[in-house]
Amino acid sequence: MPPAQQNLTDIIQTLTGLALSVVPVLAALALLYFFWGIATSLFNAGDKDGIKKGREKMLWGFIALFVVLSLGGLVYLLENTFFGNSLHTNPGSFPSNALPTPNSKIINNPFDSGAVPSVPFDPLHDTPNGGVNTQTP
């Protein structure tokens, strides 16, 4: 059986998928290193050398977090610029059909009396209590 033929889009899809999968892990490690620096500074509060080591860890953790998130954003930006987000979908994204619409009804809403107003509320002419405002805006 011949090996699977890959074109440039498949290779880029694999590489960007790998890069975007690694970014959260590296960001978590950088953040953990930053917090390790905070803990080092706190536990060595009386020792100037210990505080200095903690500050250095915090600085490098912050720099690493900035670099990792910047590179991840750059990969995502380049992917969307050149391929229009058609390579792969983000598994953590919120599906657009799950968002409520103005006509959707919340199930078991205790504040909904079930009554539907016969005339929609007009904020330019109606007052909040339902009466008609006679003043022109």
pLDDT tens by residue, 31-88: 999 999 999 999 998 889 989 999 999 999 999 999 999 999 898 888 888 777 654 5
Residue 58 domain-assigned (yes or no):
yes
Task: Report, as an integer, the average pLDDT of 6-28.
Answer: 84
Q: Decide if 45 is inside a domain.
A: yes
Question: Is 113 domain-assigned?
Answer: no
* Number of separate domains in the chain: 1
- The whole-number pLDDT of residue 36 equals 95
In this prediction the pTM is 0.55
Nearest alpha-carbon partner for 34 in 80, 78, 81, 66: 66
Q: What is the pLDDT of residue 127?
A: 58
If pLDDT is split at 50, 70 and 90, which confidence band does 1 have?
A: very low
In whole angstroms, what is the distance from residue 58 CA to residue 44 CA?
14
| Structural domain includes residue 57 | yes
- pLDDT tens by residue, 80-135: 887 776 545 555 554 555 555 655 555 555 555 555 555 555 666 555 555 555 55
Q: Which two tokens stand for residue 116?
A: 């539907």
| Position 36 in a domain | yes
Helices (H), 1-137: 8-43, 48-83
Q: How far apart are CA 6 and CA 78, in angstroms?
A: 21
Cα–Cα nearest to 64, from 107, 27, 100, 89 = 27
Please indicate, yes or no, if residue 41 is contained in any of the structural domains: yes
- Under 8 Å between Cβ of 65 and 34: yes
CA atoms of 58 and 46, how far apart (whole Å): 18
Q: Domain containing 62: what range? A: 25-83
